[in-house]
Amino acid sequence: MGGRFVIRGGRPLSGKVRVSGAKNSVLKLMAASLLTPKECVIRNVPRITDVETMAEVLRHLGAEVDWQGPVMRIRSGEFEGRRAPYHLVRRMRASILVLGPLVARFGEAAVAIPGGCNIGARKIDLHLKGLQMLGAEVITEHGYIRVRARRLRGRDIYLDFPSVGATENLMLAAVGAEGITRIENAAREPEIQDLADFLRSLGVEVRGAGTPLVEVEGGLPGKGTDHAAIGDRIEAGTFALAAAVTRGELEVEGVNPLHLRLALEKMAEAGVEVEEREDGFRVRGNERYRAVDVATLPFPGFPTDLQPQMMVLLSLAEGVSVITENVFESRFMFVGELNRMGCDIEIKGQHAVVRGVGRLSGAEVCATDLRAGAALVLAGLAAEGVTEVLDIHHVDRGYESFEEKLRSVGAEISRVGT
Ligand code: EPZ
């Protein structure tokens, strides 16, 4: 994993950038395509490694996946696969989302138990408890989760936590259940709403996506669909913060600004100028920023996936900010790397106390996960001198043509090694 970004900081970004399709929607639309034997066309698909991995999982299961540019065609006619193997699942935990559609369609599935990752244990107990409540038998042995169900019966399910993945997996399983399934305390993310739109385009009755109560009427679809995924709100927020920390000005397109409204409001509270547009927003940096407190929460709260990037902005603010990470139990791993660039951040449990500093200085740093890697790139863009971000395979998981997009708006960044 020798790839690294070499960045010379200090140049304000300016110009227009278009975000790609949302990674955290497309991965689930791909899994949902397993529900029907007919062809599903998914548009606005980003060329990123997590999508490549999910395509490999579907092919491993026997589906046909044809991917040309941003258009992916999936056909899972009469295929034999039922098992997502460890070597693929360990690479991308979202593979767990094939469980729901496979059980719905074929009554059985096996997926390797996904390990934890650098931001937390990433448990899946809520996924499995929900499947059992729908009537599935769940057996965990030899590193695999096997799920079997002669028949799934719709019923009321209550999630202890509005888990994004559990909500999605159970929506997909419910398509194969008899009767109505009501998921209470469901996650409300825009990606859940996009998945519901996709299911509705297949003819599935889904109501309430985007609210804490989602209802799915059982009934496997017999037709295919052609659906364009929503824009990536986290990529968009990352570019907004890139403009802010370089005190530049960007027009960000290809995203619904309402999908990251609270994040943009929080940036504005810190002194960033933000103007919502039809298909995105305009963002302008400032010489001085105010310290603000941030607490990550499930949607519509401040997104945990923008927490590391926001920490870079607050490191440049005047005063002390407190960032509270409420979603993952260890999403501060990268703070040590930021402090090596001159930040002054102290971790106290689930809080990060961020003392504003006048300037950052370029250094060699290591990406620990996808969003931390993006945050280190932002720090490099803001820092004086040269920054090398190592292990950028993490970044490639979720950002398409990241350095090209940044270069197109004035960043001095290049990729060295693969
Ligand atoms: C999705 O992960 C996203 N990934 C994450 O984005 C995002 O950070 C997260 O939602 C929260 O918004 C994809 O969509 C592929 P969760 P997911 O289930 O579904 C606990 C990125 O950078 N939990 O809402 O795994 C869990 O441990 C990635 O793009 C249980 O305890 O998130 C975590 O602490 C990172 N039991 C919290 O809930 C369960 O059964 C949030 O998890 C499930 C989750």
Q: Are 288 and 265 in contact (CB under 8 A)?
A: no
> What is the percent of the chain with per-residue pLDDT over 90, rounded to a whole number?
89
Residue 116 has pLDDT above 70, yes or no: no
At residue 82 the predicted structure's pLDDT band, cuts being 50, 70 and 90, is low
Alpha-carbon distance of 182 to 212, in angstroms, equals 10
Q: What is the pLDDT of residue 83?
A: 73
- Residue 122 CA: which ligand 1 atom is closest? 27
User: What is the 411 CA–ligand 1 centroid distance (Å)?
Assistant: 31
- Residue 131 to residues 125, 192, 255: CA-CA distances in angstroms? 10, 18, 33
**373 Cβ inside 6 Å of ligand 1:** no
**What span, in angstroms and rounded, lies between the C-alpha atoms of 350 and 368?**
18
Answer yes or no: are the C-beta atoms of 239 and 284 closer than 8 Å. Answer: no
How much is the pLDDT for 198?
98
Cβ atoms < 10 Å from Cβ of 138: 16
Distance between CA atoms of 44 and 40, rounded to whole angstroms?
13
- At residue 313, what are phi and psi to the nearest 5 degrees? -60, -45
The whole-number pLDDT of residue 117 equals: 72
Instruction: Tell me the CATH class for 4-20+231-416.
Output: alpha beta
pLDDT at 220 over 90: yes
CB of 399 within 6 A of ligand 1: the answer is no
- Burial status of residue 392 (CB atoms within 10 A of its CB: 0-12, 13-18, 19 or more): buried
pLDDT bucket at 120, cuts 50 / 70 / 90: confident
Q: Do residues 99 and 127 touch, judged by C-beta distance below 8 A? A: yes
Q: Which of 84-88, 132-136, 335-339, 397-401 has the lowest mean pLDDT?
A: 84-88
Is the pLDDT at 8 greater than 80? The verdict is: yes
CA-nearest residue for atom 34, ligand 1, is: 328
**pLDDT tens digits, one per residue of 164-189:** 999 999 999 999 999 999 999 999 99
Look up 40 and say whether it is catalytic: no
Number of neighbours of residue 142 by Cβ within 10 angstroms: 10
- Rounded to 10°, the helix 164-174/99-106 angle is 10
Question: Is there a contact between 159 and 126 (Cβ–Cβ < 8 Å)?
Answer: yes
- Evaluate whether 4-20+231-416 and 23-228 have a shared fold: yes
The whole-chain average pLDDT of the chain stands at: 95
Q: Sign of dihedral through CA atoms 147, 158, 262, 122?
A: negative
Answer whether 304 contacts ligand 1 (Cβ < 6 A).
yes
pLDDT > 90? residue 348: yes
Q: pLDDT digit string (tens) for 365-406? A: 999 999 999 999 999 999 999 999 999 999 999 999 999 999
**What backbone phi and psi angles, to 5 degrees, belong to 168?**
-70, -45
Distance 161 CA to ligand 1 centre (A): 10
Sheet containing 213-217: order of strands: 156-158, 180-184, 213-217, 206-207
pLDDT of residue 1 exceeding 60: no
Confidence of residue 342 (pLDDT cuts 50, 70, 90): very high
Rounded mean pLDDT of 253-281?
Answer: 98
Question: What distance in angstroms lies between residue 108's CA and the mean position of ligand 1's atoms?
Answer: 24
> Domain 23-228 sits in which CATH superfamily?
Enolpyruvate transferase domain (3.65.10.10)
User: Residue ranges of the domains in the chain?
Assistant: 4-20+231-416, 23-228
* pLDDT > 70 fraction of the chain, expressed in percent and rounded: 98
Residue 104 clears pLDDT 90, i.e. is over it: yes
**Rounded to whole angstroms, how far apart are CA atoms 24 and 22?**
5
User: In terms of pTM, does the model score above 0.95?
Assistant: yes
Distance 302 CA to ligand 1 centre (A): 14
Instruction: Indicate if the pLDDT at residue 418 is higher than 90.
Output: no
- Can you tell me the mean pLDDT for 297-318? 98
Give CA–CA dist 324/16, Å, rounded: 32
Q: Dmax of the chain from CA atoms?
A: 63
Half-sphere CA count of 311, side-chain side, radius 13 A: 38
Return d(Cα 343, Cα 379) in angstroms, integer: 9
Which atom, in ligand 1's list, is nearest to the CA of 398?
29
Residue 81 has a pLDDT of 65
Measure the N-to-C terminal CA separation of the chain; round to a whole number of Å: 7
> Is there a contact between 29 and 229 (Cβ–Cβ < 8 Å)?
yes
